[in-house]
Amino acid sequence: MRNLGIFFIRYYSFFLFLFLEVIAFSMLFNSNNYQSASFFNSSNKISGKIFSISSNVESFINLSIVNDSLSIENARLKNQVLTERYSNKINSGVYTDTSMSFQQYTYIQAKVINNTILKRNNYLTLNRGRIHGIRKNMGVICGDGIVGIVKDVSDHYCSVISFLHKDSRISAQLNASKDFGSLVWDGLNPKIGSLKDIPTHVKVKIGDSITTTGFSSIFPENVMVGKVNSVSQKNGDNFFEVSINLSTNFSTLRYVYVVSDILADEKVKIEGGRIND
């Protein structure tokens, strides 16, 4: 403290000069409209350029991230073309169709234009609709995992029931053992889900991957859901309560894919209109 006092005493004339300069400029701008207007116009131009440069830099960085994400996802989807195919091949030797397999799932890219994550029942709005091939009950995924299910469709838009919804229930499995249950959201943390109906004889490990089962016409098999973060059991219950760290970050969703199952109508018809997921 003593050194600080010595410092101000030694340079007191310099600080007095600055103080008087501030007063002089203040009196000049306050008493003269021209100088005042010139000053504020100049300051606005400078601040505007700074904000513009900042915005451009931020947009450039975000664009790079989005492009990288889309490139990775496009590569992943192209790889899936070889695995997500329906096979007509049988071993009887009687079936002679030369087209033994075809791509069962197609993906429609869409942009998220509205999204909620903090309500008990959350929804998304996408910029794709009926004219783009979107139909009710189609699944929606992103590069990281599941997102939700299409609820309503107009010509150019569709609304999606987010997984972060009290009525959301998706068939999911432990990727290692293929034991499956129902994935639900407890309405609290948008990063956490719960896998129900896993019997207590099943070996569940922290960090195990959880994926979709493909039992319905909504999501293909092996779409990432998340990883196990805890396992618990209530007294007298024959099932585990498995807590899942969701792989999808719902708060940063920008681009998604709507899943179209070519065989969906046939499957739903043979099952009497039931929807599993």
Q: What would the pLDDT profile of 232-245 be if each residue is shown by its tens digit? A: 887 778 889 899 99
Q: Which residues are CB-neighbours of 246 under 8 A, at least 6 positions away?
A: 145, 163, 190, 191, 192, 193, 225, 226
Distance CA 176, CA 254 (A): 30
Domain ranges across the chain = 103-270
pLDDT of residue 75: 42
Ranges of H-type helices in 81-189: none
Q: Which residues are CB-neighbours of 163 under 8 A, at least 6 positions away?
A: 146, 147, 148, 170, 183, 185, 193, 246, 248, 250
Question: pLDDT for 8-47, tens place per residue?
Answer: 667 667 767 777 777 766 665 556 555 554 544 455 445 4
Q: How far is the CA of 36 from the CAs of 19, 27, 28, 33, 48, in angstroms?
A: 19, 10, 8, 5, 18
Q: Which residues are CB-neighbours of 28 under 8 A, at least 6 positions away?
A: 35
What is the SS3 string spanning 96-112? Answer: CCCCCEEECEEEEEEEE
Question: pLDDT for 154-202, tens place per residue?
Answer: 999 999 999 999 999 999 999 888 999 999 998 999 999 999 999 989 9
Q: Superfamily for 103-270?
A: Rod shape-determining protein MreC, domain 1 (2.40.10.340)
Average pLDDT of span 222-239:
88
Q: Which residues are CB-neighbours of 241 under 8 A, at least 6 positions away?
A: 194, 196, 231, 232, 233, 234
Structure tokens of 58? 């931020």
- 240 and 181 Cβ atoms separated by less than 8 Å: no
The SS3 call for residue 162 is: strand
CA of residue 108 relative to chain centroid, distance: 16
pLDDT of residue 37: 47
Average pLDDT of span 81-91:
48
Average pLDDT of span 204-219:
90
- The per-residue pLDDT of the chain, averaged, comes to 77
Predicted TM-score of the model (pTM): 0.65
Q: How far apart are the first and last CA of the chain?
A: 70
Distance CA 164, CA 226 (A): 14
